[in-house]
Amino acid sequence: MNWAPPLLAPWRLARGLRKHPSAILLAVQMLGILSYPLMEDTGVGRALFGAMSIAVLSLVLWVINRASAHWVAWLLAVPAVAMSLLANFVGMPMLLPWAHAFESVLYFYAVAGLIRYMLGDMRVTTDELVAAATTFTLMAWAFAYAFSACQAWVPGSFSDVAVPPQPRTWMELLFLSFSTLSGVGLSDIVPLSPLARALTMLAMFSGVMYIAIAVSRLIALTVIRQQQR
């Protein structure tokens, strides 16, 4: 019988989590979806949102380094973190759209790294299956940050079907991103400016192609492995 002292259990758990960085990132993002609505209406909440965004960026860098180590990710992350800190804690909100633009590019870079990681061999591991879900959420965050930068630079880019054009909240833009990528079409946010519509069309295309290529391949390889047993 395998038995470990209680004090060793956390260390074993930590080692197990280090083998599945994508799972940690996915869990944090799911937690963010549940907690973001509580942060948007207060100054303290917005500061916590900024801190949580920085924590997620750190996890993104960890996942990228595990999938394919590149110095490009650090060139994108450093200015993103610096501008986010200045915007949320020093009172320089004009830097926030630029921070979101850098974060969007970083998330897209992470998506490319995870797709390369998943397509790198003909085996399907548990971490790769979790990475498939994590990649989709990273893509949703990337487009949400792009939408946020877009509406800051082009006012009136997005509108609620029942409300005149005004800046949409982060949660509304994230909801638009998820609904567009998944193809369900449930969002009540409408892109109005040419740039907003171009970004939305790219999100539609990316969601369809990702599901068709990456997810389908992982499912097919899993089925083949089961049949060969």
- pLDDT score at 51: 67
What's phi and psi for 64, nearest 5 deg?
-60, -45
Burial of 44 (0-12, 13-18, 19+ CB in 10 A): exposed
**Over the stretch 8-47, which tens digit does the pLDDT of each residue have?**
444 454 455 566 677 888 888 888 888 777 776 665 666 6
AA identity, residue 184: V
Give the Cα-Cα-Cα angle 122, 139, 211 (nearest 5 degrees): 50
Q: Quick one: which H or E segment has residue 92? A: none
Of 24, 20, 11, 32, which Cα lies nearest the Cα of 175?
32
Other Cβ atoms less than 10 A from the Cβ of 145: the count is 27
What's phi and psi for 167, nearest 5 deg?
-60, 130
Average pLDDT, the chain: 79
pTM check: above 0.85: no
Q: Are 110 and 73 in contact (CB under 8 A)?
A: yes
**Over the stretch 64-122, which tens digit does the pLDDT of each residue have?**
666 555 677 788 888 888 888 888 778 788 998 999 999 899 889 888 888 887 777 77
In the chain, what percentage of residues exceed pLDDT 70? Answer: 79
- pLDDT score at 127: 75
Alpha carbon 173 to its chain's center = 13
**Over the stretch 145-171, which tens digit does the pLDDT of each residue have?**
999 999 999 998 998 766 666 788 888
- pLDDT score at 44: 61
Sorted by where each starts, the structural domains of the chain and their CATH numbers stand as 14-228 (1.10.287.70)
Q: Are 74 and 110 in contact (CB under 8 A)?
A: no
| C-alpha–C-alpha distance, residues 198 and 104, integer Å | 15
| C-alpha–C-alpha distance, residues 65 and 104, integer Å | 18
